Structures are given as structure tokens and as C-alpha cells.
Structure 1
């Protein structure tokens, strides 16, 4: 019977679903055989560290595919505080990219992924500082939750708890991992997760050590006292060694520039005992057979038969054995292994029969209450007799289908639907509410530890095979065919009905007058009418008070302009766009992140921008900019009246650059632009002939040339992480601090995340060190701003984090940066 009406809903999943925007997995015979082998292994391991890219992908690939353990990585943070080599996104947007890169890595190496609610607030030099900013008890609760949820036999940490891991987040992750190990079995500790998942005691916790950590302590690593694993084995079914798989996984961390080349042959990893049962073999005492669960012997009998009967040319012949194993599992009381292994069996049956099922939506974006056109496809590509019994939507809607699925004969059905008017928007769950510097706010306990949202729309198909019903929980998908890529998938989005995008994130008002504020209104649905207004801080003025808009088609857009007048004196605040539609108020903007290596990500943050009135003078107008790894400095400079031109390789000649008042190199330009080593002489000639060259921070690793300036300087890992750290003026009379703006200590107030990073620690006497700063209890770092006269011009190297401060609208950062551009123009 064909249903004539269905009600879709937002399905609140608590399971991991990390590939919702990817094409459905269609395992080949070798992969099916590996899945079958994993079905016969009851072991679990959890790798623990602090950030995306901290994990040892060799260990994860080996554990998941050689040992066939249920393997996962717990990253304390999403990596928001790092740098971005693929674009200009920083902070929460970068964290979203790195979340998806981790999920892509796990799809590659076979692991699962978890997170805590800790926010990567930037580089930290100690665990003590980290715990001051993170809410330690909350993060510890999240670690305990993951232990109880994943039930690992082994915990493996990437870093030691001694501080030799460098970054304070690294040390904190190891400390939390050990504390969670000690209390996860105590039902009185964090009772919320204990009641949900039960308590759990891992067998042991190990530190995945390396000579690097011992070198930091000034000692040699005693390998005789350590456990070892050779991770260099070759997997015949996958056709790769584990280091080769690991390199593909690690190469998913593209925003961090961690592309990796695979290796072959023996590769030894070392492990040091931290806590739990001591043993010479890390797997000692861990029963990975079906004997570890009561009633498992009967399940194991049928799984052994499936392995015995498996024929890669006819994988469907083992379906009766798998059905028998599935039914035997019904009598197993251990819910963890029962749920995990039943899901594995269902996946195996789907793979063995070539069963393909999907519900495709007609669009990728909807608003609550929208009508939806859906297309159902189901096909069985085997001789196994099966029926599509029901389609289930939620706990209250079940529709009887009773359609026999014959070998290679597709079943298709179309349906119309209306979405629930109270659906939640599908932006990332951890960004829905404003958190703190150190923690994300997550109201729903069921979401804590999950890597991403559940699919926005989901359905459950019940398939009957020989009287056994198997339920498959699947996302509603959107796909289209493109001329270049063919079949492409993207996540379905539930969105607000209107988006209000203010054209800039920050508006900086110097000594000029008003500014035009453009607001793009984008229709998330058709027949959209309303009024647009701009909310402003006290003391500011805006004209007009509002605009009426009328957009007939979904996806249509129109831009409306306001004129904003600043107060007479220096002042900072926020403006916000707001739309009133049918008596309701909306204030969401739209941000989409699109890169080829991750699914498209959509966010709907509050539509707002920072406005800053600053006392600012400048000299010069034309700036040339050589892009590095990507930043927003050009847009920031345009805010205060500079004309910024992006310079490509053909533009980098002394003659062509002489028209610019300054040439600025973007962050990590000498790490990312291979051609700069060939243009360095031209850049130096530009300076010698009277130009001003400003170089922002680079890392000492992988420089394309060591000759960064006209005189020698050496980069270090020195950094000042405390954004409130005192900045001392070493050269108070230097023109870079006096013209055209007088720089004082007030100009270093209100900085975000850090002072600076990778300062030079050695330089030629021709350079003048202008500023000094340091983190608490550390030596002064004087290399953050170096200036030298060279020929008729000036060369400046600065490790201060302008790429964070200018886009954040820090007034003093604008005043100092303008002085750098203006140097020599008195």
C-alpha cells in the first residue's frame, strides 16, 4: 500500500554518523571480508589527545584493521585556535573545518571520532593555565562519558602528563585521560553518564611515547622498558601497509598542512605503562573472543560459519549465517556488544546483498513547515529473498510497504511531505549557544562527545529476511549530477526563512565621517516580505531607520544600504541586522564553508558586526599584498581607506612595486609560496629603492628561503600566548611608535587570543627591536617587531598576531599597523 502523506521530523540520533554528506559506502568483496573478520573480534581501544592532527594515525589504522578492535580517537578540542593553510577561516569556523577533516581521517583509517566540550583557545604553555580556562570538571566529565560510552579495553595517550608534550592542552589531555581512567568505574562520579551507559574500567592506560619526549628531558629513551608494536604490516585485503593508510588519513588534515607520504616496511611504535594492570604485552588479559559475553558462544558459532562459507564471488551465501548470528545476539544481555555487533551484522548483510536504499529530497535546504518532495529507491542485488516491510519516521509514524525486493529490480516511490513547523535549524550543535573562551555550551547531554549533528532529516527502513526484521537508520539525502564531478552529495539543511548578511565583520571609522553599511537579504523561502532594520550602539546614528523588502523566489537576494554615523570620540560596539516577518523577528546570517575535501558546512550565526571609532592618521594609500596561507588583513586595511592590490608572481618586480606605499607579505608566505625564493632579490631591491616591506609571521619549519630580510634573522618557536601580557616599549622615540599615531600602552588593550607567535630570537645588529613582551615567568621576547632601514626604504618583520587583531577590530592594532605602513613618509 502506497502512503499518500508522510511527516518528516528532525531525528535526534545519539549514534555517530560521520559520513552524512558522502556517497553511500558500497564495500567490495575484500572490504566485506574485513568487515566479517571484525565481526569476530570483541575488543576496543581509545586514543586520546588534545587537537585534530595530534592522533597517531598509524596506531589507529593498525588497531582498527589489523587487530580489528573498535577503535576511536577522543580529541579534547576541535582545533579552533590553530592556523589555517587552506583559507582565511579562524576560530570557530576553523574548528568546524578541522572537525570535518578528522571525520574524513577516520573514514580513511577505520576509526570513530569523539570530542569533549573544551574549546581550543590558542596555544597554552602549561596544563595549569589550560585548566584555568577550560572548566576542568566539565571536560573530565566528558572524558568519563566517552570511556563509559565506548568501553575501551585500552586507553592510549599521545602525550605524557609531565609537561614534556609542550602545549598545555597536550599535557592536560594526558592528565584528564588518567583521571578519567581512575574514576570511570565509580558510579558515584558523574552519575548522568553512569545511568546512561553504565560504568566502565579499562584494562590499562598507555603512553604512546617517542624519543622526542625523552630528548626534551635531556635523557635517552630506554626501549628495553617499553612495550612495542610493529605497525609496518601489509594488509592484503586493503592493498596497503598501515603506514600507507595512516598517511592518507593524516593527509586529510589539509588546513594544518599535514599532507603525508606513506612508507613501507617495519615501523616500531613504543608504549609506556601509565596505570592499570601491568603486563609485557599491551593486549594481555583482554578477551576479544565471543566468550567475553554470556551467550556469545552461540553467536560466535554462526559467525565462524559465515567466515567458513564466505565466497568473495558470491558474498550473499553467508546471509543465513549472519541472520542466525543476529538472532542469537538478541539473547545477549551485554548491551554494548549487542548493539555494536548487531549494527555490524546489518551493515554486512546490506553489503553482501548489494542492498541499496535511499530517500532523496528535491532540494538541499528547507525551512520549518516547508513542503518536501521525496523519492524512494530500494534495490536488492542478490538472490536473497527480502521485503521492504515498513518505512518508519520517528517513534509514532510507521507506514506499511510490504514490497518484495527482487534481484536487481528497483523499487521506486514518490511522496510529498510537510516538515514540522517547530524543527530546529541544522547549524552545528556546539555553536547554537554562546560559550566561553574555554568551553562550548551544549544543553543536550545526548549530544556531548558526538562529532557532529545527526542528519537533518532521517528515515528508518525495516527489511524482512526469512522472518527476521532488520532496521536501517538512514539519512534523507540530496544529490545532483554536475558536468565535472558527476553524482555529488551535500548535507540537507534546515534553515531560517531569511538570512541577513552584513557585508563586513568589522567597520573601523578613522578620522573620516560616516560609512555605508550594506546588508544582503537572502530568501530562504518564497514570497518573503518584511522590514529590515539595523540595531546600533548608543551614541551612533543610522539612516534610514528601516527598509521594506519583498522577495518572491526562494534563493532571491537584494542588498539594502544604511548610512552609519559614529560618535565624535573613540568608541567600540556592535551593530546587528534584524528582519520582521509576519510579526516574528529573525536575525540570522548565512555562512557556508566549501572545500573539496570536506562536506559543505552551513552556519546561521547572529547577524552582527563590530564597529570601532578610532583616532587614526595614516600616510600613503596604495598597498601591495602577497598572500600567504590566507588571512583577512587586506579587507581590514581597506576598512581604513587603503587600496590593497593582490600581487601575483608577475607583479613582484622592483619596478612594478615602486608604485606601492608598502608591500605586505601575508602570514606564512615564506612557508607556502615556493616562488618567493626567486623573488627575494626583487623585494630587497624594492626596499633599497625606497619601499616599505612588512613581513608577518612565518614558522621556521619548511621555509622556502632562509634569507627573509636584508640582514640575517633567525625564527624560533618563541611566542606570547597571554593576550593581556604586558608589552614594553623598547624604543619610545622610534618613528614607528610616533608617526603618524602616538603609540602608548593603551594600544595593546583588548587584544584577542595571543600577542604573537614564532618571534625571531636572533637577528643582525642592523635591526632595531621595538617592543618586548613575555608570558608569566618567562624571559622577555624582544623579537616581535624588528625594523631596519635598508637603502632608501624600510624592512619590518613582525610576529605579532595582526591576522587576529585587525579582523577582530582591535583599535590599537590598526594604529600600530598604519604606522608600519606609514614609516618613512613624514
Structure 2
């Protein structure tokens, strides 16, 4: 293994014992970020020889298709799989929302936190089916009965602007919608997505619409827009069959021998990534017909891409590029993928000669990825920890190994996008593992890694996004990256490698997570809501966690008018990063009934900080970190309680038991042994958690005792369940049936 010391002794480069570089803010190359298939926060990819061939074939296909709907999990994953892996088109899904208004079957996260989970589930789905992912700034505010209602909450012009931006950036030849524009869509967001798709189809080509975008992009006219219709939107299969006469039909149920799976099997794996929604799916094989109704643009008769040139001939002067790629495909052997690298390098050289165009940077990036994969070129940059605060040091390890006989020279390493170059000039011998260590200091003004759509407060219907260039991106650009410049066969290729953190888990093995930039201090309140049922004071505790070494400062509470805290502030001092200290204030409520906000403030070295730490960690997505405001609601009310003992049977997960405890109830989490009539009689009420009748299989055996408990005078409270996947039909003491009819106006009168 060749390390820095070896390089120093060999005279190949001169390094001080400790390299200290200043990291400059990372300025994203947006074209690359929108179209590169490489992940920001995952383990390095290890494509098989057959996958390399598939990616190589895609180099000669210049077609783009964009699917558009309202939510995560609305997309037709089988169609996306087919378009990306059979037709080899650049395939994207534009979801207007991040699914913040949905339910969560795997944990307690709701609203913005659920939106983070569902964003990552969509990204995992796209990594599976080969598509790209985009969003607008629209918030999923929950069920809506009509597009008219939806547009009273969404800023229609802003959502349209975002859709136009994605179209102008992604430049689809064909757009496809999932839903009809009318009530058959089943959700106001659904129908709104198709209405906006039609408007965006026209607006993207109009220079008078959203002209501020034209500093970065050009207008773009999509060739055609179609509705991917299906029998679910009709009363019966026979009605649909009559309606769909003459529609364009495509069989997408093929088998891909290079991937070893049918498109239905890959699609099921993709859809099963939506685990928070309980969408685990079974793979399908054989014929699968999709129907498409023409909506706008030139009508297609035989194929979605009728009349659309998807070859290199749509780019002037590219004949040699196409021939060289085809030669590489023809000469390719799975036992030695690197043998075609010289041909691919010749194609890269020809690509670089082409005049600037939309396709040039996309195909150069795709080709460089194929060259890397064919060489077995492994490049990884890991940090010593998964997070760091501004003005603190970051320890890095760079690993490079060329697992082919193709000559390659690592010429230099750049730490940070605009950082100082370190000249290397190391010939990468086949199979030799090269490691380099460095450290740099994060600048004082570097931004923390808050999801970009959550940096500023938005509205009920819209997130606030600061930069036009961030619109559409599924997630933040990497907190920092390292640029590795290699000369391969005479061609200089730059690889931008995101910095990640990895550890070895004794059960799961190698675990990766994104590297993040965090505040120097975290303030986590013990509760989200503090209830004051009388004028008596309450203890409010906050867990203070150090985000860096040698933290010294004070912690204080901000309270509504009429409230006060003792003491006014509390000093804190911690020596090491990740040290924690619990501090407690006594809060005296207002004399009157009132609802307000409590806010924690830390003053460190003259600067104020007010963020908490939230970590989302599930096995099917990369670990996610965000920094919500360190706030809680404070409520002063006069509350009268009778029986204070409550039994609570957990469902999919919620925070209700803790909230009940906050207002003075004695809450017992019920286990299987507790679900007997004699045991239940001790409680004044029994509450079933959210979606209990969807997620607790043994409820069917508890139901008789629950209903008997209610019959004898007990109170049973059942929270939200859905009509699909109910474990039993008799969920109440009297016959009742759940429907999908909903009340969406919170001011509606309650009627039985």
C-alpha cells in the first residue's frame, strides 16, 4: 500500500506533515448534478460487466422523457424502468411534492420529517429503476378534493414556474402525466399535476413566461404530452376498454438479459422502496400493456417517440462519436471490459471537440462514468467523522485503485471545489491501492447542511427556496467534495468525489452516510408541547450537545409575553465534540389561557444559535440529518381531568402517549398480555394508535375484549385508519364501514 510517507520518500511530491487547506463554498455545476447518475450519499457503485455494456449502449441514445405527477409513489415505476433500461432514454420523474402530508407506516415522523424520508425513498427508487428525480416547491398539505381547492393553498404560479424550470433544464422530448384533470384523479393534487403539466408544456416554450430563468436556461418545446391512462380511472374494465379504443398501446413487460430481470421485477423493487407508505410489491413477468391518450403537441401513432430523432445526428459534427461508441459496444467482452477503454477515450476526445450543446456535457459525464466503471477505477473520499462545524478541522482519507491494465496517472487532488491543488503525478499501477491523508479547516461562513427547502420558513402550501439553481434538485449538493484529476490514455478526466463517512457495523458490515456540516451546538428540548393546566410552574429541560471541541457559552429561553423562566440563563462548558449536558429551567406560565412559542438560544463566542438535531435512520435509505428550530409550543389552559389512567395500544407510531403524559395522564403502553377484559377495566380509556387496524395483526384477537370493555362503560378511542389493508371489517361496536370520503375543510361543522 502506497501512502503519503512513501510518496514523500520517493520524491514524487512534497507534503508537510499536516496539510491544512481552507475549504471554499462548494458551487454546484448544476448540469452535472441534474443528470449524473452517481449518488451523493451512498457507497461507491460496483456495476457488473453487463450493466457497463447497458450504460455503453445508452451513450448512443439521445432521447429524454419526463413523467409528471403529484406525490412520491404516484409514478409508474414499470414505465420508468422500461424507458430507462429498454429504450435507454434519459428518463425523469417530476413529483410536485415530497409527500409531507402522508402517513408513516415505519415510524413517528410526519410533515417535513416524513418529506425527508419520502424524498430519499424516491431517490432509492430511481437508483433501482434508472430514472432521475425532480421536485417543485409545493407542499403536500394532505388530502384535497379538487384542483380548485389545491390552488387556494399552493401558489399556482410558483409551482408552474418550477415545472417550467425542470422542463427547460431537462429538455424532455416527451412528457407523460399519470392522472386525468378531472375528479377521476381521486385527489386534488393529482388532477392539479396534470393541469399544470399542460400549462408548463406551453409556458416552457414561451420566452415571455418566467423570463428570469433565461439567464441560465433556454426555452424548450416538448414534442408531445400524453396521459398514461389506465382502467383504475374508470368504473369498469369494459368502460375503459371502450374509452381506450385508438389509444397508443405499448407492451412494457419485457425481459432485460443484461440485468437478468423483467421490467416488472425491477419495477417492483423500485416501488418497494416506498416503505413508509407500505408499498412493498411483487414482481411481474410477461406482457404488460400501457395506454397513452394524446393531450398536446404532435400526435404519436406507433411509438411515444414518433418523429423524434434520438441518435447522435441531432448533434452537429458527431458522426465519429457515434461510430466509436458503436465500435466499443461491438468489441466489448464481459471478461475484460477495460479492453474497450482506448476506443471510449477516442470517443471522449471527439466529444470534447463538439460545439457546445445541451447533450455535450451530459454525454461526456456518462462516458466518463463508463470509462471509470470499465477500468474498475475505485475512488472514495471518507471523513474522520460524519459531521463537522464551521471553523473546525476535517480529516480526510482518499483511496484510489485502478483495477485494470489501462495506464492512468493521478496528476493532482483538489480538496474542496475551489481549494488548493496538490500535485501528485502518481502512476496508478494495476491493482495497487493508493491512499492519501489530508485535513482542512471549514470556513466560518460555510452553510450548515439543512435541506435547502427547509432553510427558511415557508407557507402552508409552499416551501421557500432561496436559489433558482436549487429548484428541482432532489436533495442538497454534497457538503464538500474532492476533485481527482487523472490522465488516462492521454485524456485528462476530472472526477468529483463527494466526501462521505463510513464505519463498520458488527452486524451489517460497511455502513455509509453523508458527510454534513452542522452548527457548533445543538439544543434539543425534551418535549414538543408543554402544557400548563394551572398557574403552577413546570420544569423545562434541554439537552445541549457540543458540535465541536471546547464549547463555552450560555443557554437561555425566549418566552411569550407574560411568561418567565428561572434562571434567565445557564452557562455551559464542554471539552469534546458530542459531549452532552442537560440543563433545566423553571418556567412560570401566563396567568391567562394562552398558546405561544418557547425558543432556546445558545450564545457561543458572541454568536447566537437556535437549532436542534434530528437524525432519521432507517436501513433502506441513507441516514438523514436536519436541524429544526429549537422551539416548542407552550399552552396555558384550565384542564379538568377525571380518570387519569389510559391504556395505549401503539399502531404505526406516534407521539400521542407522550403528549397525554404531558398533561398529567398516566399512560400505559399495552402489550399482548394486557389485552384482556379484566386488565383493561383498570383504565378510564383505551386508545388505539394511528393505523392500528392496518398494522397490528393481533388486534383481531383483541377486538372482542375491547368491544366488551366499551359495552361495560369503558371508553375506546380509535384514531386514523385507512380502508385499504384493514385487518378486519368489524372495527366498531356497531356496523360501520370506512370509505375514502374525507373532510378537507377544518372549519366544517361536525355532524353524525
CA distance in 1, matches of 2:130, 2:568: 56
Q: Is 1:361 aligned to 2:348, yes or no?
A: no
Post-superposition Cα deviations, 1:203-239, rounded to whole Å, max 9, x if no partner, equal: 1001000112232999544332211111110111111
Alignment partner, residue 9 of structure 1: 24
Q: Is 1:246 aligned to 2:246, yes or no?
A: no
Post-superposition Cα deviations, 1:465-498, rounded to whole Å, max 9, x if no partner, equal: 1221111111012111111111111111101101
CA distance in 1, matches of 2:239, 2:381: 60
Are the structure 2 counterparts of residues 188 and 216 from structure 1 closer, same or farther at C-alpha, using a change threshold of 3 Å? Answer: farther
Deviation at 1:35, TM superposition (A): 0.6
Alignment partner, residue 600 of structure 1: 623
Q: Is 1:285 aligned to 2:307, yes or no?
A: yes
Q: Alignment RMSD, CA only? A: 1.5
Alignment partner, residue 7 of structure 2: none
Alignment partner, residue 113 of structure 1: 133
Deviation at 1:279, TM superposition (A): 2.1
Alignment partner, residue 200 of structure 1: 220
Could you tell which deviates more after superposition, 560-569 or 306-315? 560-569
Q: Which has the higher contact order (CA 8 A, sep 6+)?
A: 2
CA distance in 2, matches of 1:563, 1:593: 31
Alignment partner, residue 705 of structure 2: 682
Alignment partner, residue 540 of structure 1: 563
Q: Is 1:44 aligned to 2:64, yes or no?
A: yes
| Conservation of the 8 A alpha-carbon contact between 1:355 and 1:381 | yes
Q: Which runs of 5+ in 2 are unaligned?
A: 1-12
Aligned match for 1:650, one of 669, 673, 677: 673
Post-superposition Cα deviations, 1:163-211, rounded to whole Å, max 9, x if no partner, equal: 3212111111111111111121222221233331212111100100011
| Conservation of the 8 A alpha-carbon contact between 1:622 and 1:659 | yes
| Conservation of the 8 A alpha-carbon contact between 1:164 and 1:216 | no
| Conservation of the 8 A alpha-carbon contact between 2:44 and 2:380 | no
Report matched runs for 1:450-465 at 5 Å: 450-465=473-488
Deviation at 1:691, TM superposition (A): 2.2
Deviation at 1:2, TM superposition (A): 4.3
| 3-state SS of paired residue (1:597) | coil
| 3-state SS of paired residue (1:181) | helix
Alignment partner, residue 8 of structure 2: none
CA distance in 2, matches of 1:487, 1:55: 32
Are the structure 2 counterparts of residues 81 and 529 from structure 1 closer, same or farther at C-alpha, using a change threshold of 3 Å? Answer: same
CA distance in 1, matches of 2:716, 2:142: 28
Report matched runs for 1:751-762 at 5 Å: none
Post-superposition Cα deviations, 1:89-131, rounded to whole Å, max 9, x if no partner, equal: 1111111111011001000100000001111111111111211
Aligned match for 1:59, one of 54, 62, 79: 79
Are the structure 2 counterparts of residues 7 and 359 from structure 1 closer, same or farther at C-alpha, using a change threshold of 3 Å? Answer: farther
Deviation at 1:337, TM superposition (A): 1.0
| Conservation of the 8 A alpha-carbon contact between 1:511 and 1:617 | no
| Conservation of the 8 A alpha-carbon contact between 1:9 and 1:458 | no
Aligned match for 1:370, one of 392, 397, 400: 392
CA distance in 2, matches of 1:194, 1:585: 39
Post-superposition Cα deviations, 1:41-60, rounded to whole Å, max 9, x if no partner, equal: 11110000000000000110
Aligned match for 2:256, one of 235, 246, 262: 235
| Conservation of the 8 A alpha-carbon contact between 2:404 and 2:431 | yes
Q: Is 1:479 aligned to 2:502, yes or no?
A: yes
Deviation at 1:408, TM superposition (A): 0.3
Report matched runs for 1:728-739 at 5 Å: none
| 3-state SS of paired residue (2:739) | strand
CA distance in 2, matches of 1:106, 1:236: 20
Q: Which runs of 5+ in 1 are unaligned?
A: 728-770, 773-781, 783-826
Alignment partner, residue 436 of structure 2: 413
Deviation at 1:396, TM superposition (A): 5.5
Report matched runs for 1:93-104 at 5 Å: 93-104=113-124
| Conservation of the 8 A alpha-carbon contact between 2:140 and 2:461 | yes
Alignment partner, residue 436 of structure 1: 459
Alignment partner, residue 223 of structure 1: 244
* Number of residues of Structure 1 aligned to a counterpart in Structure 2: 729
Post-superposition Cα deviations, 1:630-649, rounded to whole Å, max 9, x if no partner, equal: 11111111111011111122
Could you tell which deviates more after superposition, 43-52 or 279-288? 279-288
Deviation at 1:334, TM superposition (A): 4.8
CA distance in 1, matches of 2:146, 2:741: 15
Q: Is 1:176 aligned to 2:196, yes or no?
A: yes
CA distance in 2, matches of 1:22, 1:387: 26
Q: Is 1:272 aligned to 2:293, yes or no?
A: yes
Post-superposition Cα deviations, 1:609-634, rounded to whole Å, max 9, x if no partner, equal: 10011222111111111111111111
Could you tell which deviates more after superposition, 213-222 or 22-31? 213-222
Post-superposition Cα deviations, 1:124-169, rounded to whole Å, max 9, x if no partner, equal: 1111121121111111111111111111111000011233212111
CA distance in 2, matches of 1:3, 1:430: 41
Alignment partner, residue 230 of structure 2: 210
Alignment partner, residue 662 of structure 2: 639
CA distance in 1, matches of 2:734, 2:436: 72
Deviation at 1:460, TM superposition (A): 1.1
CA distance in 2, matches of 1:10, 1:460: 14
CA distance in 1, matches of 2:107, 2:155: 30
Alignment partner, residue 147 of structure 2: 127
Alignment partner, residue 335 of structure 1: 357
| 3-state SS of paired residue (2:560) | coil
Deviation at 1:457, TM superposition (A): 1.3
CA distance in 2, matches of 1:711, 1:606: 45
| 3-state SS of paired residue (1:343) | helix
| Conservation of the 8 A alpha-carbon contact between 1:79 and 1:120 | yes
Deviation at 1:686, TM superposition (A): 2.4
| Conservation of the 8 A alpha-carbon contact between 1:353 and 1:384 | yes
Alignment partner, residue 140 of structure 1: 160
Deviation at 1:499, TM superposition (A): 0.6
Q: Is 1:325 aligned to 2:347, yes or no?
A: yes
TM-score (norm 1): 0.86
| 3-state SS of paired residue (1:440) | coil
Alignment partner, residue 404 of structure 2: 382
Deviation at 1:319, TM superposition (A): 0.5
Are the structure 2 counterparts of residues 217 and 379 from structure 1 closer, same or farther at C-alpha, using a change threshold of 3 Å? Answer: closer
CA distance in 2, matches of 1:520, 1:223: 61
Report matched runs for 1:655-734 at 5 Å: 655-723=678-746, 725-727=747-749
Could you tell which deviates more after superposition, 687-696 or 114-123? 687-696
Are the structure 2 counterparts of residues 697 and 117 from structure 1 closer, same or farther at C-alpha, using a change threshold of 3 Å? Answer: same
Post-superposition Cα deviations, 1:439-466, rounded to whole Å, max 9, x if no partner, equal: 1111111111000001111111111012
CA distance in 2, matches of 1:704, 1:512: 45
| 3-state SS of paired residue (1:567) | coil
Deviation at 1:3, TM superposition (A): 4.3
TM-score (norm 2): 0.95
| 3-state SS of paired residue (1:225) | coil
Post-superposition Cα deviations, 1:67-89, rounded to whole Å, max 9, x if no partner, equal: 00000100001111111111111
